[in-house]
């Protein structure tokens, strides 16, 4: 779980950044879920961020294609092992995920080859129509249940093994609720998950998913009540602390978040997730020196990876130490390049802005902004304007006017 995904106020951008992290690590199912959540947030809560939808839709398509390829590869393994029934299910999942293009054509060709053999046939994804008779309704319900089970298996595949085992034992209502939650149908998710809570006695992780549905429905008081009860009984579940802190931060109730984190048991107090949470709580309170100290402690214990470096960079930037923050953003970007991965446009944008604030008008900075125009087209108007400003400061007024016009046209 990425730091900026947990602690950025549940904005569409935070889900996008978390999705990008999952894509880089090969967790395509998780990435798909995050991009869908980002789009849902824009649709329901952030209409002013509609320009982000095209970029997110592209990323969603990439995640679907990558996950479809994974299922296709797994299906080939199943065929080689003689497990034709499992291969058929994987082909169906791949078809449901693949959009138009080369991936879909490859899957269709492989299915045609598979069907042409002695193996069991592959049926197309179910198409649901309104049923008029009771028998048709029953058949449709069976098909929907089967579809939910298939999607549920894909979602579970991305979870840690112990969670997979637990989630698969919670029953039909939980399956429907979990699928609805990840489809962005939060009303249905809450109803099914409430049913699942009633059907499962004793310790379960269902309250975490139900609380997530409540948060999406802006029922934060209900979510907090559920999580506060859950964390008393399950004090080592870090996700409960994360969700509760997000609720408290949204209300600027830092006393409650502080009290909550002061009660964390020693067994998890120094884990990476909890140290990041402690640091972010100080950051939210604008206690930047304390936040930085905690992030540095986290780096000393767990190693200074990109997540911790980003937390430090934004804290140092917020404390006004621009040159240090700029150097740290550059370090993260260079590390991405050395590993052969594309640096997150967010990081490049922050680095470029700090360079601009420092009075930089170099060709290198111009090249960064020009690159961002292509990498982050939804914000190209702002990048064109920065390019115009730099040319103006350099006295190259014709170029300044040209890019100012491009900025105005991009806003239209």
Residues 190, 349: Cα–Cα separation, whole Å? 38
Measured at the CA of 159, the angle between CA 158 and CA 161, to 5 degrees, comes to 120
pLDDT at position 99: 62
pLDDT at position 137: 46
Please give the DSSP secondary-structure letter assigned to residue 123.
P
Residues 235, 250: Cα–Cα separation, whole Å? 22
Sign, CA torsion 225/226/227/231: positive
Instruction: Report the half-sphere exposure of 363 (CA within 13 A, side-chain side).
Output: 0
Taking every pair of C-alpha atoms in the chain, what is the biggest distance, in angstroms? 77
Residue 49 CB: number of other CB atoms within 10 A? 17
* CB within 8 Å of 145: residues ≥ 6 apart: 172
Residue 94 CB: number of other CB atoms within 10 A? 28
Residues 314, 355: Cα–Cα separation, whole Å? 15
Residues 207, 59: Cα–Cα separation, whole Å? 30
State the burial class of residue 214 (Cβ atoms within 10 Å of its Cβ: 0-12, 13-18, 19+). Answer: buried
pLDDT digit string (tens) for the chain, length 412 residues: 333 333 334 577 777 877 777 777 677 777 788 888 888 777 766 776 777 777 877 788 778 877 777 777 777 776 766 667 767 777 777 777 766 556 667 767 777 766 555 444 444 444 434 344 444 445 445 555 666 787 888 788 778 888 889 999 999 999 999 998 888 889 999 999 999 999 998 889 999 999 999 998 999 999 999 999 999 999 999 999 999 999 999 999 999 999 999 999 999 999 999 999 999 999 999 999 999 999 999 999 999 888 899 999 999 999 999 999 999 999 998 887 776 667 788 889 999 999 999 999 999 999 999 999 888 887 889 999 999 999 999 999 999 999 999 999 887 5
């Amino acid at each position: 779980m990425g730091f900026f995904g947990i602690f950025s106020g549940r904005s569409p951008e935070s889900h996008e950044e978390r999705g990008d992290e999952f894509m880089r690590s090969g967790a395509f199912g998780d990435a798909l879920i995050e991009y869908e959540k980002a789009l849902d947030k824009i649709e329901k809560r952030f209409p002013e961020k509609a320009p982000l939808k095209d970029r997110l839709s592209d990323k969603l398509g990439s995640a679907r294609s990558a996950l479809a390829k994974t299922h296709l590869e797994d299906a080939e393994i199943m065929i080689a092992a003689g497990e034709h029934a499992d291969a058929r299910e994987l082909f169906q999942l791949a078809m449901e995920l693949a959009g138009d293009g080369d991936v879909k054509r490859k899957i269709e060709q492989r299915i045609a080859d598979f069907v042409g053999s002695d193996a069991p046939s592959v049926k197309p994804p179910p198409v649901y129509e309104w049923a008029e008779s009771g028998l048709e309704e029953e058949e449709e319900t069976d098909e929907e249940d089967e579809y939910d089970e298939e999607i549920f298996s894909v979602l579970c595949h991305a979870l840690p093994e112990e969670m997979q085992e637990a989630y698969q034992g919670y029953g039909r209502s939980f399956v429907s609720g979990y699928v609805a939650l990840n489809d962005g149908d939060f009303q249905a998710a809450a109803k099914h998950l409430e049913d699942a809570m009633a059907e499962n006695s004793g310790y379960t992780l269902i309250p975490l998913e139900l609380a997530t549905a409540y948060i999406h429905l802006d029922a934060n008081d209900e979510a907090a009540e559920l999580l506060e009860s859950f964390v008393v009984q399950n004090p080592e579940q870090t996700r409960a602390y994360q969700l509760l802190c997000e609720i408290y931060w949204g209300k600027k109730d830092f006393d409650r978040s502080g009290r909550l984190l002061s009660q964390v048991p020693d067994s998890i107090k120094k884990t990476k997730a909890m140290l990041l949470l402690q640091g972010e709580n100080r950051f939210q309170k604008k206690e930047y020196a304390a936040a930085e100290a905690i992030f540095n402690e986290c780096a000393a214990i767990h190693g200074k990876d990109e997540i911790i470096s980003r937390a430090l960079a934004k804290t140092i930037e917020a404390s006004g130490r621009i040159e240090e923050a700029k150097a740290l953003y550059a370090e993260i970007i260079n590390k991405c390049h050395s590993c052969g991965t594309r640096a997150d446009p967010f990081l490049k944008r922050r680095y470029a802005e700090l360079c601009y604030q420092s009075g930089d008008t170099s060709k290198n900075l111009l090249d960064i902004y020009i690159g961002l125009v292509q990498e982050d087209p939804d914000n190209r108007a702002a990048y064109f304007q920065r390019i115009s400003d730099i040319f103006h400061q350099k006295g190259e007024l014709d170029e300044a006017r040209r890019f100012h016009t491009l900025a105005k046209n991009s806003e239209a």
